Amino acid sequence: MKRLSGKRILLGISGGIAAYKSAELVRRLREQGAEVRVVMTRSACEFITPLTMQALSSNPVYTELLDHEHETAMGHIDLARWSDVVLVAPATANFIARLAQGSADELLTTLCLATQAAILVAPAMNKQMWLNPATAANIETISNRGIGIVGPAAGEQACGEVGPGRMLEPEQLLLAIQAVFENGMLAGKHVIVTAGPTREPIDPVRYISNRSSGKMGYAVAEAALEAGAEVTLVSGPVALDAPERASCVRVNTAIEMRDAVLENAAGADILIAAAAVADYHCGAIAAQKIKKGDGALTLNLSKTPDVLAEAAKLDPSLFTVGFAAETETLKDNAIKKLEAKGLDMIAANLVGEGQAFDVDENALELYWNGGSLKLEIAPKTRLARQLLHVIASNYYDKQSNKTH
Ligand code: CTP
C-alpha cells in the first residue's frame, strides 16, 4: 500500500556530505506515491548534482531565489504553498543557524519562512558542531517554533569521528514524513463520509444531477483514514478511486445514500456529509424513454430525504458535520443549516464562478455552537486534513462535556 499517495513533499538539501542519502530518499518517497520537488542550496550542488535530483524526482530542481525561468512557472511563493511537508535533509549547522535567524537570503530559507506546511529538519554535521551550545540554542529556537527535528543519529562520521551528528537513514526520514500525516487523532473511531453528487432518474436514460466531483469528500475520507479512523465512504457516482483502506458503498440516488448511511450509522462516531445530494427527485420515473413533443415538458419533482438531518435526528450521539454550498450570504445560510438540521458543525463554502465544484482548491468557513474558524484557500487534500483537526477537537470536547 502506498502511504504517501498524492502527498507533496518539498525536499530541501543543504551542503553536507549526507546529501547523497537524499537521492535515495527521493526514490523511496516516490515509491510511496509522493510527488517530490527538490530545492538545493548552492553548497549542496557541490556535493550532489541538481541533474541527479531532477532525474530522480522527475521535476525541475530549484536552486536560485530569483530564477526567471522558474518564477514564471512556479515561483518561490507557489512552491511554499504547494508543499504539504518541507523536509530539509541534510540540514547543516549553518542552515539551522539561518533558519533560527529567520533569514531569507536564499531560496530554501525563504521557502521555510513562506510556507504553512509542516517543516522537518534532519541535522547532519560533525559531532562537535552538533554539541556546540550555539547549535543547541538554534535547535531549541526552531523547535519552539514548531519545526520538527528528526535525528541526528550517533555513529561513525564522514570526518572520522564517532558521535552524534549523522543524518538519519532514508528509511527513518520516510517514517518521519509519514508520521506527519498519520497522526492517530481519531484512532478507534468510526467515521462515515458521504461524497459526490446523487443521480435522480427521470426515465431509463436521463437523470438530474449536479457538478460535484467528489474530490472534497474523498479527501476528507483520506484524511480521516490518516487520522487513524475506520472509514465508511458512501459515494455517489464519481470518477475517483476510493481510498484503499476505506470501505466504500457506491450509491446513485438520495434514497440509496440515506439507506446506506443509516445502515452504517449504528455505532459510528462521526458523520461528515460532503455529498451534494439532490434536493428533488421525480415523483414517478417514466418506465420508457420520454419522447419529445411539440410543447414544453414539465417534470413533477418531490423532495428527497435529507440524509444528514435524518441521521442527526436518529442518533444525537453521532457527531454530525454538514457542508453548506452557497452562492451568497455564506455565514447566515450556514448557521441556519447548522441549526435546522441539528448539526454539531458546518463547513461552508462559496460555489459558482469557478469556485469549489470540480476544482482542486477550496476555502472553508467552519461554524459550530460557540465558535468559528476560517480555513484559507488550499488544495482540497490539505484543507481536508485541517478540517479533520477541527472536527476531532470539537468531537472530543463534546465527549468530555457529556461526561461532566
Ligand atoms: N444534505 C443531505 N441530504 C439532502 C440534502 C443535503 O444529506 N437531501 C446534506 C449535504 O450533504 C450537506 C448539507 O446537507 O452536508 C447541506 O446541503 P445543501 O444542499 O447545501 O443544503 P440544503 O439543505 O439542501 O439547502 P439549499 O439547497 O436550499 O441550499
CA distances from 341 to 191, 313, 366 (A): 19, 8, 16
| Distance, CA of 76 to CA of 65 (rounded, Å) | 7
Best residue among 233, 251, 272, 307 to mutate for probing ligand 1, ranked by most atoms within 8 Å of CB: 307
* Amino acid (1-letter code) at residue 9: I
Helix (H, G, I), strand (E, B) or coil at 118: strand
Indicate whether this model's pTM tops 0.85.
no
User: Helix 50-57 vs helix 19-31: angle between axes, to the nearest 10 degrees?
Assistant: 10
CB-based contacts of 167-171 (< 8 A; 24+ apart in sequence): 167/16, 167/18, 167/21, 167/89, 167/90, 167/122, 167/123, 167/124, 168/89, 168/122, 169/21, 170/21, 170/22, 170/24, 170/25, 170/28, 171/28
Closest ligand 1 atom to 305 CA: 8
In this prediction, residue 289 has a pLDDT band, given cuts at 50, 70 and 90, of very high
Q: Are 123 and 167 in contact (CB under 8 A)?
A: yes
Topology at the third CATH level for domain 8-181 = Rossmann fold (3.40.50)
Whether 190-282+300-402 and 8-181 are alike in CATH topology: the answer is yes
337-368 per-position pLDDT tens digit: 999 999 999 999 988 766 666 677 889 999 99
> What are the extents of the domains in the chain?
8-181, 190-282+300-402
Q: How buried is residue 298: exposed, middle or buried, by Cβ count under 10 Å (0-12/13-18/19+)?
A: exposed
Q: Name residue, grid cell 485541517.
A: 386
Active site residues: 159
Q: Does domain 190-282+300-402 have CATH number 3.40.50.300?
A: no
142-196 per-position pLDDT tens digit: 999 999 999 999 988 787 888 899 999 999 999 999 999 988 999 999 999 999 9
Best residue among 209, 337, 364 to mutate for probing ligand 1, ranked by most atoms within 8 Å of CB: 337
